Structures are given as structure tokens and as C-alpha cells.
Amino acid sequence: MGYHFLDLSKEEKHERRHLLDWYGLTAQASILAPLLTLQLYFLAVWIDRRWRNRNEFDAPSSPPAKREQRGGKSGLLRTAKNASRQILWWNSDPVDVLGCHLGSKGDVLGAAIWTVWLLFLCFPQTGEDYLHLAKRFGAIGASQLPLQYLLAFKSPYSPLQLLTRSSHETLNCLHQHLGYIITGFFYTHVALYVNFYVVKNLLAEKLLAGYILAGVFSVVAFTAIGTTALAPVRRWSYRVFYVVHVALATLLLPVLFFHVSHVRLYLYETAAVYAVNAVLRLLNTKTYDGTLQLIPDTGLLEIVVQLPKSALSCWEPGHHAYVSLAGHPLNRTFKSNPFTVASLPAADGHLKFVAKILDGNTAKLARSMDNIKHSGPGQQLSIEGPYGLGRHGNELLRYDRILFVAGGVGATFVLPLYRQLLADLSPSKGSYRRQKVQFLWIARSKAEIIWSLPENANERQGFAERLSVYLTGPSTSTGSPIGSSTVGDGEDGSRVAFGEPAGGIELEEKERLLVSDVGAGARQDTDEVAIHAGRPNLRKVVDQTFAYGTTERVAVIVCGPLGLSQALREEVGRYVRRGREVWFWEEKFAF
């Protein structure tokens, strides 16, 4: 039995159209199954916590909590929990192929299962009808477009972010995988039709038809989007990737509209998602006065934005924003960068952003300082946000011991969480609860950490209490790094290069940086901070963190170059495999 070119009656064509629509809608609605499963999981977790009389304010070291950590009276329950932790840990292991990061094992496995499911939907009830099979691949691929655009939804009101309790950055990997799946289905759709046109000697004629040209453009556009989204291209030029991505994703909708009428339902849904996202992003963008400053002896740009008190309340540690010079919204779309909030907005009374200066928007922001010197002390900045998850602070209070690790400008994410946790545990320096916290910051020179130190001497002492800084770069007399990679110790005792970031705007430092001509008045007092030369021994640090009892729950938060995160994860994984309860959060600046 095989597929053939069939001559169908009008009724048979109508039945084929009915089946195409049915299976397309089935493919689209299938996403409800994993979302429902996830909601049941969240419900089970909530019931478990309620049953054990625990909530987010329970002390982790309380007797009920310790009984739960030991697995209660049931060895079976303890075994099941250990197994689930190891499965979740395995799911979050990174997958790298030929130097390209494909996401976690869970992401890749989920994408593979979804691909198999969609492929399965392409064949039932197609009989021997070749064109039915060709059309089915196109219909199934088109049915995924609304989901694809939903995964790119950046608003905190995104339905998928709310249902999965994930940030846009977490869902972005699934967005990439689904994009490649859709492209593969469209390629198959085109290949089957090209074969049909060649056999029927219709190819030259069809290539002159407008609706065929619209389909060809769509496939080329999907190819360009997928190619420029590859990690090597993003590292070479993030701007090329972003402009191509946004421009072609916008053009695809009207072009596909003219390709075939039967997929227009999916296009209407996609356009609605696109429009709602654009409106919400516009409403989430405000213009404020900001102060820009080049941090002396570094390639860092510091941005401080004064917000009204009413606006500060919605900003939490872990949030980030898109920052650009005020201007036309269309221009901002192609020029804004994501910056992590490096301050505690409610306590400090302002937003602070610190980022590496690149040959893009950050360089444009830095060059704008020339105009500031002549026009006044402030600069009009567009702030779009907050984005990201802001619940890390409450989550950390559930754990007995916390280890923070930051590499370079990755400290912009870690520092606010560290400050907030110290304040939540105890306002007093030297308290017992503060001893449960450790913060390692790996930087190249003292100049790169000066910006983080509080002005007040007492606050600075409390800030530095649990902070250890490791300087890894050879420096000049001014403290400016000459350059080196940061390294750590592998599980076998060998040296593992943390290296430079594999991607990402805030962590990628290019050779040509704008150099500050401002050096006077910079705070150089780092006496309170424990500063070490060279790299930290990650194995020793992790062993010390887990050495205080097998019942302690441990949280590990890391933000920095990919090599640093992977080396730390390898060390922490040894304890996960022994059954320890660990929350490992790796914040990434990759796109």
C-alpha cells in the first residue's frame, strides 16, 4: 500500500478538507494535555504542603520540616522523593552538540515527544491520497503558529508563563525547538508538493502563481529565522539575529494569509497573540529620567533610574527590563537590551542596571553621555518591564543553607537576592541565621566590584559579611584587567575552564570596549570584603555547603559564564545523586 495521485470527487474533496481541519485543530488543542498535567502536579505539591502544615513562612529547621526532610515514617515515600529529585535533575542537564547548546534534556525530550505526536497526526485517515498527506503536513505545521508566538510572548501576563510558572527566558528554549519543528513540517509539505509538480510537469507554471510564491517566501523566511537563531550567529551579531527574527516573524503572517485560505484561522489566532503582546509591551514601557556613568577602569556602564514610589513596588530581585534611549517605539524594538535590576528598588529608591558595553545598544547608551555633558545631568530612558520571575526571595526562605555564585556581571542578578535574603534572615551582622548564607563572586579586578558596595559604612560591613571575592585577571596599577579566563576544579581534580560566556548580551565582553575618561571620586574602599587571588575551588566550596547535615535543604543560585554554571552544577550533582534536596537555579543571559 502506498500513496498515489488521486482524482477525487467534490464530495471526497470536501471530506478531505474536513479531516484536514479536524486534525489541525486536534494538533493545536493537544497542548492542553501537558498544561493540564502540569496543573495537576502543582496541585499535588500544594496539597502535600498543606497536609504537612507547611507554607512559605515555615522555618526550614523546625521539627516538622526536619521530619519531612527525613522522609517521615515511610521509607517508600523517601525513596520516591529521592527518585523524583534525580529525575528532575536529569531533565535539567544541559545538552550540547558540536558546541551548540540545545537546552536541557527535558526540553529536548519534550520537543522529541511533541514531534512524534505531530507526525502521528499527519497520517490517520489519509488513505492512499498523496495530496492529502502533503496538505496534512502543512496544516499541522500551521496549527502550531499560535503556540509558537505565545512562547515568544514577553509580557508577565503571558498565559503560558502564568500556567507554567516560568519566565519568558525559560520558555524561550521551547520556542526555539518548536520553531525548528514547524520549519521541518513546512519543508516536508513543500517537498511533497514539488515532487507532485515535477511528476505532473507543472513546476514552471506553478512558480509563476502568486500563492505559490507566497509559500516559497514563507519557507525561505522560516529558514532565515532558524539559521540566524543558531548560537554561532547570535554570538557573531545579536543585532542581525534580532532584526531578522522580528522583521520576518511580522511579515510571515500576511504572506501566509495569501498562500492558502484554509490556514487563516490559525493566522487570525497568531495575529491576535502578536497584537496583544505588542499592546502589552507598549503599555509596560515608561519613560523616566536616568543617570548614566562609565565605571572607571572597567568596560561597565551603570544606569540609575529614578522611579516614583508607586512604581517601585512592582520591582523585585530577579527582575529585568529592556532599557533604551527614549525615542520612537519602532526604533526601540530593534535597539533595546535586557538589563538585570542590580539594586533593591524598594529599599534603595531607584533602579540600577550594570552591563558590559558592547558594539550595540549599550555602546549607544554610553556615547549618549557626550550629549548629557552639554544638556544636563539626566537622560530620558525608556524602561520596559519588569520581566522575569520575582519570587526567588520567598523561595530561598524555604531552604536551610544557600550558596550564591556569580561570575562577572552575573552579580547583577545575584546581588539583590543576596541583599534581600540577609535582610529577611536578620538585620543584625553576625547572626546565626546569616551564617547559613555564602556568596562567591568571581571577577577580574577590584574595579569590577566597586559599584556594588553600599555607601553607608555599617551597611557595607553587613553586605560584605558573607561575601568572598575571587580576582582572576592580571591587573595594572589602576586595577584594570589585562585578561584571563576563569577556571575551576573538576570532579577529577583537573582544571576546568569557566571561560567566556557562550552567549548573551550582558555577559559577553568584546575586545573593543569604550574606555571611561572618568576616574576621580570612585570608591576604592574594599577593606571589608574578603578578596582572594585566583580561582575558587568549587569542589571544596560545595563540600563545605553540604557538610552540615544530610537533612538540610540547600539552594544554589548561579549566574555567570556557561562554563562556571556547568562546573558548579557538576559538583552539586554529586549530592543530588546521594538523595540530597537541592534547588539549583541557573540564571542565563542567552537568547
DSSP for 408-424, please give it.
GGGHHHHHHHHHHHHHH
Q: Are 485 and 534 in contact (CB under 8 A)?
A: no
The residue written with cell numbers 484554509 in the block is 262
Kindly report the length of the chain.
591
Detail the DSSP E strand segments found in 122-281: none
pLDDT of residue 185: 96
Detail the DSSP E strand segments found in 80-209: 94-97, 100-104
Kind of pairing, strands 285-294 and 401-407? unpaired
Q: Which of 76-90, 165-179, 468-482 has the highest mean predicted lDDT (pLDDT)? A: 165-179
pLDDT of residue 200: 93
Mean pLDDT of 65-81: 60
Q: Which of 274, 254, 264, 34 is nearest to 138 (CA)?
A: 264
pLDDT of residue 91: 86
- Rounded distance, CA 213 to CA 210, Å? 5
Q: Which residues are bridge partners to 380 per DSSP?
A: 289
Q: Tens of pLDDT along 376-434?
A: 456 788 888 888 877 787 888 889 999 999 998 889 999 999 989 988 887 777 778 88
Sign for the pseudo-dihedral over CA of 90, 95, 101, 102 = negative
pLDDT of residue 461: 77
Q: Tens of pLDDT along 224-246?
A: 998 988 878 877 777 788 889 98
Q: Which of 203, 182, 185, 184 is nearest to 193 (CA)?
A: 203
pLDDT of residue 64: 53
The mean-pLDDT minimum among 328-332, 530-534, 546-550 falls in 328-332
Mean pLDDT of 119-139: 95
Mean pLDDT of 346-373: 71
Instruction: Please report, for residues 31, 42, 230, 508, 562, the alpha-carbon distance to residue 237 in angstroms, rounded to integers and kept in the order given.
Output: 34, 39, 11, 11, 19
Indicate whether 76 pLDDT > 80: no
Domain ranges in the chain are 10-30+92-280, 285-387, 392-512+523-587
- Rounded distance, CA 212 to CA 204, Å? 11
Options 2.40.30.10, 3.40.50.620, 3.40.190.10, 1.20.950.20; CATH of 285-387: 2.40.30.10
352 phi, psi to nearest 5 deg:
-125, 135
pLDDT of residue 470: 94
Q: Tens of pLDDT along 537-555?
A: 999 999 999 998 888 999 9
* Higher pLDDT, residue 570 or 361: 570
> For residue 218, what pLDDT band results from cuts at 50, 70 and 90?
very high
- Rounded distance, CA 378 to CA 450, Å? 22
Q: What is the DSSP letter of 398?
A: T
> Measured in whole angstroms, how far is the alpha carbon of residue 62 from the centre of its chain?
34
Mean pLDDT of 198-206: 93
CATH class of 392-512+523-587: alpha beta
B/e letters for 130-158, b = 16+ CB within 10 Å, e = fewer, are bbbbbbbbbbbbbbbbbbbbbbbbbbbeb
The mean-pLDDT minimum among 182-191, 202-211, 474-483, 505-514 falls in 505-514
Question: Whole-prediction pTM value?
Answer: 0.81
- What's the whole-number average pLDDT of the chain? 81
pLDDT of residue 376: 46
